[in-house]
Structure 1
Amino acid sequence: MSVFVVNRKKLAVGTVILMLIAVLAVNKEQVVSVVTGNSKPIYSVKTETKQVALTFDISWGEENVQPILDILKKENIKATFFLSSPWAETKPELVKRIAADGHEIGSHGRRHVDLNTLTADALMKELDTSKEVLERLSGQKINLLRAPNGAYDNQVISIANERGYKVIQWSVDSLDWKRPGADAIINYVMNGRSKNKGASPGDIILFHASDSAPDTPEALPTVLKMLKEKNYEIVTVGKMLSNAQESCPPGSSL
């Protein structure tokens, strides 16, 4: 009798293992959710090259965009710009210049709302509408998403992946939207703050080109100069992902 009980237990365990393997094989994108229940966006990458990715979010205003583009052009730097589609529709000439200067364009959503508060249907509409607008105006294929306010959950990650996006966060925050002054922005990026480190290989650096961050054009030339002095190659998110060994943290997926 005891042998029969043990065999039943082994059979039950084996069945569970086979079911997990089947689920993982059918849907590789959801491996993290099955195992840990928590999907993650990409915050940074592991790479053998000494690269950092420069990113700018834009959801309103136009005062900072031209100066930032001028600085990047002068320094021959390509960056990734995450644009909200309503802003892009009202500033098509700036979208065209961003694209013409060789920068990468990603989506910052349709409305500046927390995506993790939306229903699945509303989220799909939000992502699809933004993608259509940005692709039409930029001529680029849009496959990167930065969620407004960095707000996400498993549903956001899953639906974004289904719609052809990789969800991109950041590992170094300039805090330029707090208007701390150019010197503080430079220090946050290069040296970090509190327990956070400064820029290191594989980091994704967050700036804003909206009018909410007036100190950014003043700080940017020094940040670029200091990164170059440390022999960093400053690239787009897409280029850094293409050179990455894996994405960080565990739970994110290239």
Structure 2
Amino acid sequence: MRFIVFKRPSWRNVMLWAILLFVVLAYRENVISVFSSKLKPIYSAVVTTNEIGLTFDISWGEKTAEPILNILKEKGVKATFFISSPWASKHEDLVKRMVADGHEIASHGNRHVDLNTLGPGEIEREITSAHAVLEELTGQNISLLRPPNGAYDNKLISVSARLGYQVIQWSVDSLDWKRPGPEAVINNVLNGLPKGHGAGPGDIILFHASDSAPDTIKALPVVIDRLQSKNYQLIPVGQLLKSATETWPPESNLPPLEKPAATP
């Protein structure tokens, strides 16, 4: 008969395993980022309707947001505005008008920095600080995030999901921030880049309401009229997601989490 003798682990091995466990617990979002290569933001939705998500990013500027709001009101269209919290704090009247006009408010973060370059703790602070400002101003439940410059990684998506946020990108880019002229902006949305991939059901269109995109004011009425002539309905992203059977790409189908209760 053979006996198996188990050696007591050395003190050094015990310490190494303890350190490894501490790192995993302390930096679990980073561990997720390393071992899960399939976390993706939402680019579009799979729908059985003619609905298209209309979105605007805004982080700075004084001249563009109000004319865009006037156009949307005239056309009877509701959209999602991804707003940075410093701009919102300086333009409370415009933000409150967005809410009064029936638009959805979403987060574009606090500082306009690439969030994927930050650590998990910094990402959380950026999201929660913007969240506090936007919810106080709007009274809405802010649960959608578009990271500045569309910069993301697994770490950002996992932290966002833990905070109850869905990360939203876009499938149709107007490229209005490049100032290519109103006709080019119209063409980018209706015909797409490459040509033949223009806006259709389930898509999410990206415009900007910052002063860096003055062409949007002239292009937007044409885009709305032409899409509506095809019986497409332009709506906020939150509403589009409620109509969706799933989101694209498949790796974006993370179950939305409930936000942690606020500490008194």
For the superposition of Structure 1 and Structure 2, which TM-score range results when normalised by the shorter chain?
0.7 to 0.9
**In terms of Rg, which structure is larger?**
2
What whole-Å deviation, never above 9, does each CA across 1:53-74 have from its counterpart, x for those lacking one?
Answer: 1000000012011110000001
Letter of the 1:38 partner, please give it.
K
Shift of 1:205: 0.1
1:166 paired to 2:157 = no
Secondary structure of 1:193's partner?
Answer: coil
1:68 paired to 2:68 = yes
The answer to whether the 8 A contact 2:58-2:210 is kept is yes
Secondary structure of 1:57's partner?
Answer: strand
Map of 1:127 onto structure 2: 127
Aligned length: 223
State the distance in 2 between where 1:163 and 1:112 align. Answer: 19
State the distance in 1 between where 2:198 and 2:35 align. Answer: 32
What whole-Å deviation, never above 9, does each CA across 1:170-228 have from its counterpart, x for those lacking one?
Answer: 00000000000000000000001226710011000000000000000100000000000
Map of 1:87 onto structure 2: 87
Percent of pairs identical after alignment? 60
1:195/1:39 CA distance change after superposition, 3 Å: farther
Please, which runs of 5 or more residues in structure 1 have no aligned partner?
1-31
1:163/1:197 CA distance change after superposition, 3 Å: same
State the distance in 2 between where 1:35 and 1:48 align. Answer: 34
Letter of the 2:150 partner, please give it.
G
State the distance in 2 between where 1:42 and 1:234 align. Answer: 18
Letter of the 2:70 partner, please give it.
D
Letter of the 1:128 partner, please give it.
T
Map of 1:54 onto structure 2: 54
State the distance in 2 between where 1:245 and 1:75 align. Answer: 28
What whole-Å deviation, never above 9, does each CA across 1:109-135 have from its counterpart, x for those lacking one?
Answer: 000000000011111100000000000
Letter of the 2:221 partner, please give it.
P
State the distance in 1 between where 2:177 and 2:34 align. Answer: 37
State the distance in 2 between where 1:123 and 1:142 align. Answer: 16
State the distance in 2 between where 1:164 and 1:118 align. Answer: 19
Map of 1:42 onto structure 2: 42
- TM (norm. structure 1) is 0.85
State the distance in 1 between where 2:151 and 2:39 align. Answer: 13
State the distance in 1 between where 2:154 and 2:222 align. Answer: 38
State the distance in 2 between where 1:102 and 1:45 align. Answer: 22
Shift of 1:35: 8.6
Shift of 1:39: 0.2
Map of 1:214 onto structure 2: 214
Letter of the 1:116 partner, please give it.
N
1:122/1:164 CA distance change after superposition, 3 Å: same
State the distance in 1 between where 2:223 and 2:195 align. Answer: 20
Map of 1:237 onto structure 2: 237
State the distance in 2 between where 1:163 and 1:195 align. Answer: 38
State the distance in 2 between where 1:113 and 1:210 align. Answer: 16
Please, which runs of 5 or more residues in structure 2 have no aligned partner?
1-31, 255-264
Q: In angstroms, what is the RMSD of aligned CA positions?
A: 1.5
Shift of 1:38: 2.2
Secondary structure of 2:82's partner?
Answer: strand
State the distance in 2 between where 1:100 and 1:164 align. Answer: 25
Shift of 1:37: 1.8
Map of 1:150 onto structure 2: 150
The answer to whether the 8 A contact 2:33-2:153 is kept is no
Give every structure 1 segment of 4 or more consecutive aligned residues whose post-TM-superposition deviation is greater than 4 Å. 32-36
Shift of 1:164: 1.1
1:34/1:253 CA distance change after superposition, 3 Å: farther
Letter of the 2:133 partner, please give it.
V
Map of 2:19 onto structure 1: none
Map of 2:103 onto structure 1: 103
